[in-house]
C-alpha cells in the first residue's frame, strides 16, 4: 500500500463516498432540500481546503495557469452537480444516473489520447468490468414521470463535465500541487452556492432542526474529504485506473450500508453489478 499511495487514497475515497451515498438521502427525507444540501457541501469543502493548504505551508499556487486549471476542475465538478438537479427535476432517475455513471469512460478515452496513459491487459479488463458495473449498480425501477427531452441534454452535459473533470485533474496534477487544485475546487463550489440557493423553493416547509442542516454537514463532509483524497489518488496514480475504480467501488459500500441501515434488498441487476465491481477491483489492484 505504501509503495502504491494512489491505492490508499483511492480506497479512502471509496469508503467516504460509499458511506456518503448511503446516508445522503436522510436529510432530504426529513425535509431539507438537496439544493440547500449543495450549499452545505460547499461549506464543508472549506475546512478540507484549509487542511490541504496547511500541509503545503500555505504556499498556494496563484499563477494564471494554476488558477485556470483549478477553475476548470472546480466549475466542471460543482457546475455538473447543479445541472444534475435540473436533470432530475424532469427526467427519470433510472435513466439519468446510468448516463452519468459512465463519465469515467470519457476520462479513460481522452486520457489515453492526450495523456498517453497505458495499462496492462489485466488492468484494461478491470477498467471495462468497472465501467459495466457502474451502469448496473445505477439501475432503478422505471417510472412514467418523463417530461420532454431537456433532462437528457442535462444528463449528457453532466456525463461530459464529470468525465472531463478527472482528465483535467490529472493534467493539473502534473503541473501544480494537489492541495492547490482542491482549494480552487472549494472556491468554485462556494461561488456557485448562491445559484443552488436561488434554485431552492423557499416557500416549502424546510427542516432547520439538527436533522436538517447540521446532519447534512456531517454527511456532506464525507463527500468533501473523499474529493480531496481523489485528487491525491489521481496525483500518484493513473487516472484511467483511479476514476473507474473509485466510481465502481463506492456503490458497493453504499449498497451494503443501505442493506444494513434501511433493510433494502438490492435488485438482482445491482447484485450482478457489485460482483463485477469486486472483480474489477481485484484485476486492478493485483
C-alpha cell at 21: 451515498
- Measured in whole angstroms, the distance separating CA 218 from the mean position of its chain's CA atoms is 17
Q: Is the pLDDT of residue 171 over 90?
A: yes
Nearest CA among 72, 11, 74 for reference residue 241:
11
Which contacts of 228-232 are long-range, i.e. CB under 8 A and separated by 24 or more positions? 228/48, 228/49, 228/51, 228/52, 228/182, 229/9, 229/10, 229/12, 229/13, 229/16, 230/9, 230/10, 230/13, 230/169, 231/169, 231/173, 231/178, 231/181, 231/182, 231/185, 232/5, 232/6, 232/9, 232/178
pLDDT at 144: 58
Q: Is the pLDDT of residue 180 over 60?
A: yes
Q: Is the pLDDT of residue 63 over 70?
A: yes
CB burial of residue 114 (10 Å; 0-12, 13-18, 19+): exposed
pLDDT at 207: 95
Q: For 108-117, 166-175, 235-244, 258-267, which range has the lowest pLDDT when averaged over its residues?
A: 258-267
Kindly list the domain boundaries of the chain, sorted by start residue: 5-285
Cβ(191)–Cβ(42) under 8 Å? Answer: no
Task: Compute the mean pLDDT over every residue in the chain, rounded to the nearest whole number.
Answer: 91
**Can you tell me the mean pLDDT for 113-140?**
91
Q: Is the pLDDT of residue 223 over 80?
A: yes
State pLDDT tens for residues 65-107. 999 999 999 999 999 999 998 888 777 777 788 889 889 999 9
pLDDT at 129: 92
* pLDDT band of 133, cuts 50, 70, 90: very high
Nearest CA among 210, 214, 221 for reference residue 47:
221
Q: Would you mind telling me the total number of residues written for the chain in this entry?
A: 286
Cβ atoms within 10 Å of 228's Cβ, excluding its own: 25
pLDDT at 210: 94
The DSSP call for residue 60 is: -
Q: Is the pLDDT of residue 1 over 60?
A: no
* pLDDT band of 229, cuts 50, 70, 90: very high
pLDDT at 245: 94
Cβ atoms within 10 Å of 202's Cβ, excluding its own: 9
**Among residues of the chain, what percentage have pLDDT more than 70?**
97
Q: Is the pLDDT of residue 60 over 90?
A: yes
- Measured in whole angstroms, the distance separating CA 113 from the mean position of its chain's CA atoms is 23
State pLDDT tens for residues 256-271. 998 888 887 888 898 9
**Among residues of the chain, what percentage have pLDDT more than 90?**
75
- Residue 201 gets the label, from left (phi > 0), alpha (psi -120 to 50) or beta, of beta
**Can you tell me the mean pLDDT for 36-61?**
96
**Can you tell me the mean pLDDT for 140-157?**
77
CB burial of residue 218 (10 Å; 0-12, 13-18, 19+): middle
> What are the distances in angstroms from CA 205 to CA 17, 18, 214, 215?
29, 29, 17, 17
pLDDT at 86: 84
pLDDT at 2: 60
pLDDT at 148: 66
pLDDT at 143: 63
Amino acid at each position: 500500500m505504501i509503495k502504491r499511495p494512489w491505492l490508499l487514497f483511492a480506497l479512502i475515497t471509496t469508503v467516504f463516498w460509499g458511506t456518503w451515498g448511503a446516508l445522503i438521502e436522510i436529510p432530504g427525507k426529513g425535509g431539507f432540500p438537496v439544493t440547500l444540501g449543495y450549499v452545505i457541501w460547499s461549506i464543508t469543502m472549506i475546512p478540507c481546503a484549509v487542511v490541504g493548504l496547511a500541509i503545503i505551508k500555505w504556499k498556494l499556487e496563484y499563477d494564471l495557469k494554476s488558477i485556470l486549471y483549478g477553475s476548470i476542475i472546480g466549475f466542471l465538478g460543482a457546475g455538473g452537480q447543479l445541472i444534475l438537479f435540473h436533470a432530475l427535476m424532469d427526467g427519470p432517475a433510472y435513466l439519468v444516473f446510468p448516463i452519468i455513471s459512465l463519465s469515467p469512460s470519457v476520462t479513460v478515452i481522452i486520457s489515453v489520447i492526450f495523456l498517453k496513459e497505458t495499462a496492462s491487459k489485466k488492468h484494461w479488463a478491470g477498467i471495462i468490468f468497472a465501467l459495466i458495473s457502474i451502469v448496473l449498480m445505477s439501475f432503478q425501477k422505471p417510472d412514467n414521470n418523463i417530461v420532454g427531452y431537456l433532462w437528457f441534454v442535462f444528463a449528457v452535459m453532466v456525463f461530459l463535465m464529470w468525465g472531463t473533470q478527472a482528465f483535467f485533474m490529472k493534467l493539473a496534477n502534473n503541473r501544480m500541487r494537489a492541495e492547490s487544485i482542491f482549494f480552487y475546487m472549494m472556491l468554485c463550489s462556494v461561488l456557485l452556492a448562491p445559484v443552488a440557493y436561488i434554485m431552492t423553493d423557499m416557500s416549502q416547509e424546510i427542516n432547520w432542526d439538527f436533522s436538517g442542516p447540521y446532519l447534512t454537514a456531517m454527511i456532506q463532509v464525507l463527500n468533501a474529504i473523499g474529493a480531496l483524497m481523489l485528487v491525491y489518488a489521481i496525483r500518484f496514480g493513473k487516472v484511467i485506473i483511479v476514476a473507474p475504480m473509485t466510481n465502481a467501488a463506492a456503490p458497493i459500500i453504499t449498497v451494503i450500508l443501505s442493506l444494513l441501515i434501511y433493510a433494502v434488498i438490492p435488485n438482482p441487476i445491482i447484485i450482478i453489478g457489485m460482483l463485477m465491481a469486486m472483480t474489477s477491483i481485484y484485476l486492478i489492484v493485483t
